[in-house]
């Protein structure tokens, strides 16, 4: 099975206070874009085998796609061997969700490839266990995201605007970015309601959107 794993942009991203579990609550308008990783999945004869290849290799060799395979196996009792090959086009550490998208593609692809019949709710639970953005990529292409990223409300996608993505050539670690935001005293003074964000995104012209990103001033 070959799947396209799209990047996403946070058109609006509001970082709220740090919660007791160590996560921040967020409120975000998220939209997928036409920049993709390519994910190849196939079964192997060896039970419980896992082969993961990434081109180019990820720094440190860490890949959430491997955890996606393990999470899927544990939730449906799958023992078949799995090989995952990822052709990376989405820059790492750019806030575009490439790793999360790859993980969502693996969950979706394994469910189809092995006819495991996990329900959408069960896939959502697996996605939430992997990371904050993974749930979005099971839904897409546009959503209002809240909680720590696991609460997804689908929005009507827009096709009447063009984005230019500029990558500066160096990554930003997510945990560092949140720490910088916490150190900025005024970051949580700005706020929008979910209802206002939905109306702006679905009913207003893109040029009138009053979205903001809590990371922008710190980064």
* Cα–Cα distance, 131 to 55 (Å, whole number): 22
* Cα–Cα distance, 64 to 99 (Å, whole number): 6
In the prediction, which pLDDT does 150 show?
81
Tokens representing residue 210 in the block: 């009053």
Confidence band of 93 (pLDDT split at 50, 70, 90): confident
Which region holds residue 147: left if phi is over 0, alpha if psi is between -120 and 50, else beta? left
State pLDDT tens for residues 167-215.
Answer: 888 888 888 888 888 887 665 567 889 999 999 999 999 999 999 998 8
55 given a catalytic annotation: no
| Options 37, 102, 124, 133, the catalytic residue | 133
Q: DSSP strand E in the chain: where?
A: 2-18, 24-44, 50-55, 81-87, 142-146, 151-154
CATH label of the domain that carries residue 17: 3.30.230.10
* Cα–Cα distance, 115 to 157 (Å, whole number): 29
Answer yes or no: is 219 within a domain. Answer: no
217: Cα separation from own chain's centroid: 22
Angle 213-153-113 from CA coordinates, rounded to 5°: 110
In the prediction, which pLDDT does 218 show?
82
In the prediction, which pLDDT does 185 show?
64
**Residue linked to tokens 């993961």:** 52
Residue 107 has pLDDT above 90, yes or no: yes
Answer yes or no: is 214 within a domain. Answer: no
Residue 83 has pLDDT above 70, yes or no: yes
* Cα–Cα distance, 111 to 126 (Å, whole number): 12
Answer yes or no: is 218 within a domain. Answer: no
Q: What is the mean pLDDT of residues 44-61?
A: 85
Answer yes or no: is 83 within a domain. Answer: yes
Answer yes or no: is 215 within a domain. Answer: no
* Alpha-carbon torsion, ordered 71, 83, 35, 57, to 10 deg: 100
Q: How many domains does the chain have?
A: 1
In the prediction, which pLDDT does 133 show?
87
Answer yes or no: is 185 within a domain. Answer: yes
Confidence band of 118 (pLDDT split at 50, 70, 90): confident
Tokens representing residue 50 in the block: 């896992």
Positive or negative CA dihedral for 123, 125, 131, 134?
positive
Answer yes or no: is 216 within a domain. Answer: no
In the prediction, which pLDDT does 188 show?
59
| Options 8, 37, 88, 124, the catalytic residue | 8
State pLDDT tens for residues 58-78.
Answer: 765 568 999 999 999 999 888
Q: What is the mean pLDDT of residues 118-130?
A: 90
133 given a catalytic annotation: yes
- pTM for the model: 0.89
Owning domain of residue 124: 2-208
In the prediction, which pLDDT does 206 show?
95
Tokens representing residue 126 in the block: 């697996």
Answer yes or no: is 181 within a domain. Answer: yes
């Amino acid at each position: 099975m070959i799947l396209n794993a799209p990047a996403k942009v946070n058109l609006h991203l509001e970082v709220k206070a740090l919660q007791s579990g160590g996560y921040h609550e967020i409120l975000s308008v998220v939209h997928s874009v036409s920049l993709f990783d390519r994910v190849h999945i196939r079964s192997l004869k060896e039970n419980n085998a896992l082969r993961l290849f990434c081109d180019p290799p990820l720094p440190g060799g860490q890949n959430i796609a491997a955890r996606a395979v393990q999470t899927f196996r544990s939730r449906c009792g799958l023992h078949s061997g799995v090989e995952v090959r990822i052709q990376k086009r989405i820059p790492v550490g750019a806030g575009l969700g490439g790793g999360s998208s790859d993980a969502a593609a693996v969950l979706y692809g394994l469910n189809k490839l092995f006819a495991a019949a996990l329900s959408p709710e069960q896939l959502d639970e697996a996605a939430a266990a992997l990371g904050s953005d993974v749930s979005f990529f099971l839904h897409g292409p546009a959503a209002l995201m809240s909680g720590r990223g696991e609460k997804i409300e689908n929005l009507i996608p827009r096709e009447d605007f063009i984005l230019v993505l500029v990558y500066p050539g160096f990554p930003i670690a997510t945990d560092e970015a949140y720490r910088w935001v916490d150190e900025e005293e005024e970051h949580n003074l700005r706020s929008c309601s979910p209802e206002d964000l939905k109306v702006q995104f679905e009913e207003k012209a893109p040029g009138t959107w009053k979205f903001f990103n809590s990371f922008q001033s710190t980064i």
